[in-house]
Amino acid sequence: MPACGGRTLYAMTLPTGAQLLQYLISGLTLGSVYGMIALGFTLIHNATGIVNFAQGEFVAFGALIALSCSEAGLPMPLAVLTAMAAMTLLGAALERAAIRPARGASVITLIIITIGASILLRGIAMWQWGPDALPMRHFSSEDPIHLGPASILRQHLWIMGIVVATMLGLWLLAERTQVGKAMRACAVDREAAQLVGIPAARMVMLSFALSGMLGGLAGSIVAPLSMGQYNMGIMLGLKGFCAAILGGIGNAPGAVLGGLLLGILESLGAGLCSGMKDAVAFGIMLMVLLVRPTGLLGRRAGRGEAVG
Amino acid sequence: MRVRSKRYHQLAAAAAAAAVLPLVLPSEYAIHLAVVIGINAIVALGLNLLMGYAGQVSLGQAAFVGIGAYASAILSVKAGLSPWIGLAAGAALGGLTAAVVGGPLLKLRGHYLAMGTLGFGMIVQIVMVQWEDLTEGTIGVMGIPPFSVAGLALDSELRMYYLVAASAVLAIALAGNVIDSRVGRAMRAVHGSEVAAATSGVDTARYKLQVFIMSGAMAGFAGSLHAHHAAYVHPDSFGFHYSIQLVVMVVLGGMASIWGAVFGAGAVTLIGEQLRSFQEFSTIIFGAVLVAVMVFMPAGLWRGSADLIGRLLGSRGAGGRRRA
């Protein structure tokens, strides 16, 4: 890993305009993936109050399934859809098998359950796909498009387009459909929602399923750039986490905004000093937690649950 | 008073068992494992005070172990100081770091605290990698000298074992004393209900911080033992994975139980070693066991098995009613 200790100060030169544009492009791309992962956290957190540490594994599985399907000759849209469908099922299964039986458990217990699930899933991924990083075809031609001095990969555009479309779809689901309204009602007050006849338990399962689907999609769109590896979910999951906290846990637009901001800051930070890439994300997260734990767009009312 | 004397009896029994244990251990490798378990147990005991008694989760405890290990390694290799000074410095620096970060971090609750400590742990590990002038980055610090007592180097597994065993027994005694003390009562009150504790005059913030500092110091102390045992420290040893393992030791053994923490340290260390030959299946089995224990025995294996045995021995009627 290249480092920025005292020995490598030359890496600290200021970037040129073209480099800045390049960082911005890769930052926005990575940021939209973080935003999507953060949105997965948000869905589950709103339905259950749980922070799902297995979210990153949804992403890794999505990537690995999509690249295997594409390797097996499936057309790309079908490969991505397969990954999404598989992860939807996995999300629902996780809820049914491990979360529902532990209803009412303490925060620490729930954290350990999702961590245990993430370890289990990582083990399965390593057993199925081995320890090495596997490549995946880009969705379309790999020739970059030149934008003046900077260049952009078609996969970058695919990622941003798909993320925007997904956000739009989720927004429509939440605002315009009966199911979406029921989910939002559960997020506001589960007991009250149950009293007016909303099947809250099913909504919880649905949030896990949707969250799995989002993870699967995020994994399959990022895999052509990042490759797929059994342990890729650890860092991606944690970064999604940082994004969710930056935007304000439980706030969907905040998750997306947090993801984009984090992606850009991380990309700029890595441009200045590549060894510090991860420090940017965790540093920002710590700063947000200490200064404003409700995040950029968090509700003030949520303050009580974060800080004592 | 009776609780105290029961603790002393248990402690004496544990010390005696630890003293004769190497005689029955079959190999040098088994003694090596016992040393690793002892070191992990010291960290787990501190973390258990924090998680089990004060109810505060830490997903960054490995950072304190790493700080202690690096402090000790750097002082003895680069400054040429005695490992004993390193041991004291490791514990002190672990506690000091906890004091500095604990102030702001412990204001957070639940998941937020978990994320805050996780972020802290990540950043400490990045510093270990990046501060190459001091830590040698990804190469790690090598050639760390062993402890020595009156000219006798603790360079064999057996000699190191007695130092670690004595430290672990001391840590158990310390944890027991803390739990029986005024601080322990306050901690249990904080765990029960922070609001209720605060309204009855318990300075909850201060007690939480005290316990955090103690867990940090115990982790730093254990880190120094690790450095002089392994003769080598590397940033990978003190990452997120190890933090998770430490939390698992505490919850698998059973929170709010001193012997549970020791049992958990032993179980997790041994499971990790045993499963190594299964390669990828090790992680699968480990994850599955972890989920199952947390879902079906949230009180941990130590207390959970006792409950289970009690239930099996007890009337079937009670079991039937539970199901219904």
For A277-302, the pLDDT digits (tens) are 788 888 888 888 888 878 888 764 44
| Range B190-218 average pLDDT | 84
Question: Could you give the domains of chain A?
Answer: 19-138+168-294 (1.10.3470)
- With an 8 Å Cβ cutoff, are B122 and A276 in contact? no
Question: How close, in Å, is residue B146 to chain A by CA atoms?
Answer: 29
Q: Does residue B155 form part of some domain?
A: yes
The total of other beta-carbon atoms located within 10 Å of residue A202's CB is 13
Report the range of poorest mean pLDDT among A7-11, A40-44, B292-296: A7-11
- Interface probe for A, chosen from B50, B115, B244 (most Cβ of A below 10 Å), is B115
Q: Does residue B57 form part of some domain?
A: yes
Set of chain A residues whose Cβ sits within 8 Å of the Cβ of B52 = none
Positive or negative torsion for Cα B52, B55, B61, B65: negative
Q: What is the pTM of this model?
A: 0.85
Q: How confident is the model at residue B321 (pLDDT cuts 50, 70, 90)?
A: very low
The CA-based angle A73-A77-A83, given to 5 degrees, is: 85
- With an 8 Å Cβ cutoff, are B251 and A109 in contact? yes
pLDDT of residue B277: 66
B224-240: b or e for each residue (b if 16 or more CB lie within 10 Å)?
A: bbbbbbbeebbbebbbb
- With an 8 Å Cβ cutoff, are A238 and B107 in contact? no
DSSP A187-256: HH-HHHHHHTT--HHHHHHHHHHHHHHHHHHHHHHHHHHH-B-TTHHHHHHHHHHHHHHHH-TT-HHHHH
pLDDT of residue A70: 92
B193 interface with A at CB cutoff 8 Å: no
Q: Assess whether pLDDT exceeds 60 at residue B322.
A: no
Q: How confident is the model at residue B225 (pLDDT cuts 50, 70, 90)?
A: very high
Q: Does residue B288 form part of some domain?
A: no
- Interface probe for A, chosen from B47, B101, B111, B125 (most Cβ of A below 10 Å), is B111
CB contacts under 8 A, A 151-210 vs B, are none
Share of chain B above pLDDT 90, in %: 27
Q: Does residue B293 form part of some domain?
A: no
> What pLDDT, in 10s, does the model give residues A71-108?
998 999 999 999 999 999 999 999 999 888 887 788 78
A275 interface with B at CB cutoff 8 Å: yes
- With an 8 Å Cβ cutoff, are A282 and B283 in contact? no
Q: Does residue B190 form part of some domain?
A: yes
Structural domain that includes position B192: 2-239
Q: What are phi and psi of B116, to 5 degrees?
A: -65, -45
> What pLDDT, in 10s, does the model give residues A250-266?
888 889 999 999 999 99
DSSP B76-136: HHTS---HHHHHHHHHHHHHHHHHHHHHHHTTB-HHHHHHHHHHHHHHHHHHHHH-HHHH-
- With an 8 Å Cβ cutoff, are B284 and A123 in contact? yes
pLDDT of residue A275: 73
Q: Does residue B207 form part of some domain?
A: yes
Set of chain B residues whose Cβ sits within 8 Å of the Cβ of A1 = 129, 138
A124 interface with B at CB cutoff 8 Å: yes
Domain count, chain B: 1
Set of chain B residues whose Cβ sits within 8 Å of the Cβ of A238 = 118, 122, 240
Q: Assess whether pLDDT exceeds 90 at residue B90.
A: yes
B271 interface with A at CB cutoff 8 Å: no
- With an 8 Å Cβ cutoff, are A282 and B119 in contact? yes
- With an 8 Å Cβ cutoff, are B107 and A111 in contact? no
| Range A185-206 average pLDDT | 86
Q: Does residue B50 form part of some domain?
A: yes
Q: Does residue B218 form part of some domain?
A: yes
Which distant-in-sequence residues (6+ apart) come within 8 Å of B205 by Cβ?
A: B106, B107
Partner residue facing A105 (CB), from B59, B248, B298: B298
